[in-house]
Amino acid sequence: MNKKDISEIKKLFTPTHCAITRICGCYVDAEKNQRMKMKDAFLSLPEEEMFKYFNIFRKTLSGSIGKNIINMEFPLDQEMEGGTQEFLLKLRDSELKSDELVEEFYQKVMDTYIYGENYYIILIHGAYDIPGRASDNLDMDDASDYVYNFILCSICPVKLSKPGLCYNSKTNHMENRIQDWLVDTPDIGFLFPALDDRTPDIHNLLYHAKNPEVLQSDIIDQLLGCQTPLSAKTQKETFQTLIEETLDNTCDFETVMNIHENLGTLIDERKDDPEPLTLDKQEVKKLFADSGVENEKLDEFDIHYEEVAEEDASFVASNLTNAKNYEIKTPDVIIKVAPDKTQLIESRMIDGVPYIMIEASDQIEINGIMVRTPRDNDIQD
25, 42 in Cβ contact below 8 A? no
Task: Report pLDDT for 48.
Answer: 94
Cβ-based neighbour number of residue 347 at 10 Å:
13
Q: Which of 228, 244, 263 is the last residue of a domain?
A: 228
Share of the chain above pLDDT 90, in %: 57
pTM (two decimals): 0.83
Helix (H, G, I), strand (E, B) or coil at 310: coil
Strands 69-73 and 204-209, how do they pair? antiparallel
Q: Which of 181, 213, 228 is the last residue of a domain?
A: 228
Same domain, 221 and 357: no
Q: How far is CA 351 from the centre of its chain?
A: 48
Same domain, 339 and 308: no
Same domain, 86 and 48: yes
209 pLDDT higher than 80: yes
Q: Which of 194, 228, 262 is the last residue of a domain?
A: 228
Same domain, 8 and 116: yes
Report pLDDT digits (tens) over 136-187.
Answer: 556 555 556 689 999 999 999 999 888 888 888 889 999 888 888 999 999 9
Same domain, 95 and 203: yes
Same domain, 77 and 126: yes
Same domain, 105 and 215: yes
Whole-angstrom Cα distance, residue 331 to residue 333?
A: 6
The whole-number average pLDDT for the span 252-256 is 89
Task: Report pLDDT for 361.
Answer: 75
Report pLDDT digits (tens) over 69-110.
Answer: 999 999 999 999 999 999 999 999 999 999 999 999 999 999
Task: Report pLDDT for 229.
Answer: 86
Task: Report pLDDT for 244.
Answer: 92
Q: Which range marks the domain in which residue 273 is found?
A: 233-319
Q: Which is higher by pLDDT, 287 or 359? A: 287
Query: Where does the pLDDT of residue 29 fall: very low under 50, low under 70, confident under 90, or very high at 90 and above?
Result: very high
Same domain, 315 and 331: no
**What ranges in the chain are assigned the alpha helix state H?**
3-10, 47-60, 84-93, 99-112, 217-218, 232-247, 253-269, 281-290, 295-298, 301-308
* Residue 119 phi, psi (nearest 5): -150, 165
Task: Report pLDDT for 377.
Answer: 55
Whole-angstrom Cα distance, residue 261 to residue 249?
A: 21
Same domain, 10 and 116: yes
Task: Report pLDDT for 70.
Answer: 94
Same domain, 191 and 64: yes
**What ranges in 192-231 are assigned the alpha helix state H?**
217-218
Same domain, 130 and 176: yes
Same domain, 188 and 43: yes
The whole-number average pLDDT for the span 324-344 is 85
Query: Where does the pLDDT of residue 198 fall: very low under 50, low under 70, confident under 90, or very high at 90 and above?
Result: confident
The total domain count for the chain is 3
Q: What's the start-to-end Cα distance of the chain, in Å?
A: 68
